[in-house]
Amino acid sequence: MSHAQPGTAGIALVTGAAGGMGSHIARRLHADGHRVVLADLALDAAEQIAAELSADGSTARAVLLDVAHRDNFVAALEDCRSTWGAPTIVVNNAARTQAADLMTLAEDEFTTVLSTNVNSIFFGCQVFGAAMADQGYGRIVNMASLAGQNGGTATGAHYATSKGAILTATKVFARELAGSGVTVNAIAPGPHDLPVVKATVAPDRLGAVIASIPVGRLGSASFVADMVALLTSSDAFFVTGACWDVNGGLYVR
């Protein structure tokens, strides 16, 4: 199969792009010259960021995407194809983050977090990965988490479990798609300076969490966006099935 190499500008779709880490990633990819599709359930917020990036909508646009269901990824792909074409870059970032007590965690809470976080990665890789394989080129980055590596600290067991599954799914799809010019990698952030961290960790515990980080501070979302940019570059063809850690020394391997 011929491995098509796009120019410097590609078509990037970022899930959960309406805020937090996803918005940093979308802004960075747009700054690198890619046309960016900001996918999120919070469509108004995604549209606002898209308008900031591209007033006429020529290089940034928003789409509604509930990542818990495969059919929604199929619809998002068709939406992309009808406008700019199939994405060359997909960042599966959307996730539900919740704290919960392990021994009293209810089934519906568990299922909601798992179906959102794991389905989003699995079907994002399956649907968009197949489209990328057909065109002979693609870059997929899945946002995992330190919680999926160490069992979690401030987050719930359902969240940690889902992020562990993401690491496995990344390897599965990396192996499947490698021969088609498509790479699939993961990034596993620890606690970062983002609203979701401050919403998950009680204010009276945040100081202790920061003190427990060997480097003594929360991570920078803009640096994670830099990592995404590197993993999604055309030169990143030799990195696939990998997990890049960014956790301030909390987990060393």
Name the catalytic one among 122, 123, 137, 159.
159
The DSSP output letter for 237 is G
* Contact residues for 56 (Cβ-Cβ < 8 A; gap 6+): none
C-alpha of 187 from chain center: 8
CA distances from 115 to 16, 18, 95 (A): 15, 20, 10
* Contact residues for 68 (Cβ-Cβ < 8 A; gap 6+): 115, 116, 119, 120
Q: Which residue, chain included where needed, has tokens 């020394």?
A: 249
Q: Residue 251 catalytic?
A: no
118-129 core/surface letters (b: 16 or more CB in 10 A; e: else): bbbbbbbbbbbb
C-alpha of 43 from chain center: 17
How far apart are the C-alpha atoms of 251 and 189, rounded to whole Å? 10
Interior angle at CA 124, CA 153 and CA 88, nearest 5: 115
How far apart are the C-alpha atoms of 177 and 97, rounded to whole Å? 29
- Asked whether 91 and 25 are in contact (CB, 8 A), the reply is yes
Pairing of strands 138-143, 182-189: parallel
Query: What residues are annotated to the active site?
Result: 159
